[in-house]
Chain A
Amino acid sequence: MILNDEQRMLRDTIADFLSKEAPIEALRALRDGESDLAWKPSLWSGLCELGAPAAASPEAEGGLGFGQVGMGALMLETGRTLCASPLLSSAIHAQAVIRHCASAEQIERRLPGLMSGDIVASVAMQEGSQFHTVPRSTRRDGNNLTGDKSLIMDAGAADYLLVSALGPADQLCIAVVSRSAPGVTIQSQRLMDGRQYGSVTLRNVEAEEWLEGDALDQGFTRALDEATIMLSCEMLGASRELLERTVAYLKEREQFGVKIGTFQALQHRLATAYCELELAAASVFNALLAMDRGEPVLSEHASEAKALVGDILQLLSNEAVQMHGGMGVTDEMDIGLFLKRSRTCNQLFGNSAFHRDRFATLRGF
């Protein structure tokens, strides 16, 4: 990623903050702790004080004006330390859904809370175990909705949910649903990456309101693409961290009287992984530039970035475990945490196979 001076400053500030507030031990504490916290409160308030949830937006809109490249650089850093926070769920995805799917009046009412981080929201779109974009059986009936949603990031801690549903003419509808509304049951679960996700059951739940933007379909797709690109940045950060940690280990670990990094079999595996990583990185960077250029449709960029970075993260997480040998399968080593985070990241917003299929469809074959 090529950053300007301001973006570099943002990246360094965030990296510095994360190393103090959200080192990997913070994720371990969250995972192993008694509480069912979705994130460490001081971490989130600190990120909000730094303005992270509004880093990308122009200053005229109350943001910090670092652009999407700046936000991407920030997300990359969170991937390096496996930082658990509602940045992706709320500051990026929910914010984008409000921005692109809500009416002007709704935006004015809902966006400031999400940008300051005082309010946390999460998007509920998936039903069942496979990712998809169009709601399946969640239905709108008047002002109420009924359905079952899964894999909602930070669902148990969110102030409200943005729930996709099908209207009477099978059109896309998006409800704002309060967590405490009658008929809402949230089942929270810590997944393998140590973070909180929820499944929600909605039984004739009265929506707080329905998003009233003009082109909901395009808006919802746009929001998904933006979030997918930002998740790809996080995954890129995790991939870089895995490669660097593995290279460092190969330079230090000795067997047969030599550093194992002298073995060509290992060198070539890491060198090919590095090439693939740089291809993915170039694709992710291009997607961020396309966002900053204001390209109207991001889907091809988003699918290319997510598929490529998904493939390399899968590969590098496996290679990292293997090359760390016996230590790689111990919980004491952080490598295993990256392995498990990689698997949830790969599923979030669709895995590589999903995005290859989507890319092929978009390219007309």
Chain B
Amino acid sequence: MSDTDPFRQETRAWLEAHCPVSQRQPIVREEQIWAGSRSTFPSEDARRWFEAMRDKGWTAPTWPTEYGGGGLSSDEARILEQEMARLQCRPPLYDMGLWMLGPALLTYGTPDQKTRHIPRIVRGEVRWAQGYSEPGAGSDLASLSTRAIDKGDHFVVSGTKIWTTRADVADWIFCLVRTDPDASKREGISFLLIDMASEGVSTRPIPLISGESEFCQTFFDEVQVPRENLVGELHGGWEVAKELLKHERKLMATMEAITEKVDVGLVDLAKSRLELSAAGEIADGDLRSRIATHLMHADALHHLNETIYRGMKAGQLDPALPLTLKYIGTTEQQRKDELMLEILGTDGLAMTGTDSLEQERMVRNWAYNKAHTIAGGTSEIQLNIIARRGLGLPE
């Protein structure tokens, strides 16, 4: 797609006109624009940027226009992505509904469910949480035990979900629940949408090693859920969940791009803090070599994404390739975080109370990003999938 492509020209001009300069900086977590009735905008510029994108349907560029989406083809969406990257535009909206539930609803939802939920996701009016893991069901997700009893026009849900991201401020939650305890593990599960305002729902934030409490435990005590909130077939929730997981893994792999820009000064940080040789090179040859390896990997990961895209377009995609992205992306992010911490030296041991917010953020991210190789399918689960589905090794 050349530079002179009219859609590219148009998009570039529109973004230049509508994206405030303050929204063209590498994103930091505090300034993300989250959906939901209880969310506030981090700044007036953030609000303007979000509203402009929302009105264009570009918070969900490829979703159908009848539901408020942008209706772009995959080629056009890619151009939009590239042009946003070129200007360093921040993502206009953050929401689990946008990343995960929406795509699954478009596939499995009833017309009524689509009409009720998708436009509100596009417009950022509802913040969604994900209710998958349970204290007793982590990697072995299918052993989940939150129970939904079928009462005809509604279900009664009891049990608990864990690692529900910001459930304390979420408006709705999509849940996997057990509707048939006698069926085999994967066959007795259904997919339910639950209003967090329902009676019997409560949440408890979980303090993390990063000092934050993004994750919650959510409790359901005989919560009544209307039958119209069942997505897919009764007992057919595992199908829907698999579709969502695909989107989650893709998301986790690009998390790095969403949360922080790749190069945020690893080299600059090292050069400003460490001893340099006469030639201006990092004197610690071992650290220098490990930084080089990380930068090469980060670069190659970008090329791998390109290869996957080109392969898809050319009909030559090795189906095993996309399976590698989550493992590689999250592992490399952690390698970078460890390098940052190492460069900071003993300064990096302070998580609060320093005079550098930037530095504290780096240290917090180091701790926070430990979750990335666990959430959305641990690295070990990813390797199982790569070995079996990618390499064809026996179960």
Contacts and interface: CB of A to CB of B under 8 A. Distances in A.
Nearest to B290: A356
A2 B310 contact: yes
A282 B303 contact: yes
Nearest to B314: A2
Interface in B365-395: 380, 382-384, 386-388, 390-395
Given A267-B384, A356-B289, A364 B267 contact: yes
B383 A278 contact: no
A304 B394 contact: no
B393 A262 contact: yes
Interface stretch (B19-27, B48-56, B123-131, B321-329): B321-329
Contacts of B327: 271-272, 275
Interface in A322-365: 353, 356-357, 359-361, 363-365
Given A286-B300, A308-B300, 5 more contacts: A247-B392, A267-B387, A282-B304, A363-B295, A365-B291
A363 B299 CA distance: 12
B267 to A, nearest CB: 5
B387 A268 contact: yes
Contacts of A233: none
Given A279-B300, A360-B288, A363-B295, A271 B307 contact: no
A281 B299 CA distance: 12
Nearest to A359: B292
| Pairs of residues from A and B, 7 with the lowest C-beta to C-beta distance, nearest first | A267-B387, A282-B303, A282-B304, A271-B386, A271-B383, A283-B300, A286-B303
Interface of B: 267, 270-271, 280-282, 288-289, 291-293, 295-297, 299-301, 303-304, 306-307, 310-311, 314, 316, 320-321, 324, 327-328, 380, 382-384, 386-388, 390-395
Contacts of B380: 268
Given A283-B299, A285-B307, A262 B281 contact: no
A365 B271 contact: yes
12 contacts: A2-B314, A271-B386, A274-B386, A275-B327, A279-B297, A279-B301, A279-B328, A281-B307, A282-B307, A286-B300, A353-B289, A363-B295
Contacts of A274: 320, 324, 386, 390-391
Contacts, number: 120
A365 B282 contact: yes
A243 B384 CA distance: 16
B289 A270 contact: no
Contacts of A271: 327, 382-384, 386-387, 390-391
B392 A357 contact: no
A360 B297 contact: no
A261 B388 CA distance: 10
B306 A357 contact: no
A193 B306 CA distance: 35
B393 A270 contact: yes
A242 interface: no
Contact of B303 (A250, A272, A285, A356): A285
B289 A360 contact: yes
B373 to A, nearest CB: 13
Given A262-B393, A356-B293, A360-B288, A275 B328 contact: yes
Interface centre among A278, A285, A286, A353 (most CB of B within 10 A): A278
Contacts of B306: 282, 286
A132 interface: no
Nearest to B318: A278
A247 B394 CA distance: 10
Contacts of B391: 243, 247, 267, 270-271, 274
Contacts of B382: 271
Best-buried of A259, A275, A286, A307 by chain B (most CB within 10 Å): A275
A264 interface: yes
B393 A361 contact: no
Contacts of A304: 296, 299-300
Interface in A272-330: 272, 274-275, 278-283, 285-286, 304, 307-308
A28 interface: no
A308 B296 contact: yes
Contacts of A281: 307
A270 B311 contact: no
A266 B387 CA distance: 9
Contact of A267 (B280, B295, B316, B383): B383
A101 to B, nearest CB: 27
A3 B318 CA distance: 13
A251 interface: yes
A351 to B, nearest CB: 12
B189 to A, nearest CB: 25
B296 A283 contact: yes
Query: Which of B304, B328, B380 has the largest number of chain A CB atoms within 10 A?
Result: B304
A283 B307 CA distance: 10
Given A278-B324, A279-B301, A283-B296, A360 B394 contact: no
B26 to A, nearest CB: 19
Nearest to A8: B316
Contacts of A353: 289
Nearest to A258: B394
A307 B281 CA distance: 19
A365 B288 contact: yes
A267 B395 CA distance: 10
A363 B289 CA distance: 12
A251 B394 contact: yes
A78 to B, nearest CB: 21
Contacts of A3: 316
A281 B310 CA distance: 14
Contacts of A250: 393
A167 to B, nearest CB: 25
B123 to A, nearest CB: 37
Contacts of A2: 307, 310-311, 314, 316
B386 A275 contact: yes
B394 A365 contact: no
Nearest to B305: A282
A279 B327 CA distance: 12
Contacts of A251: 392-394
A259 B394 contact: yes
B164 to A, nearest CB: 29
A282 B300 contact: yes
B386 A264 contact: no
Contacts of B394: 251, 259, 261-262
B384 to A, nearest CB: 7
A1 to B, nearest CB: 8
A357 to B, nearest CB: 7
A363 B303 CA distance: 18
Given A251-B392, A251-B394, A271-B383, A357 B289 contact: yes
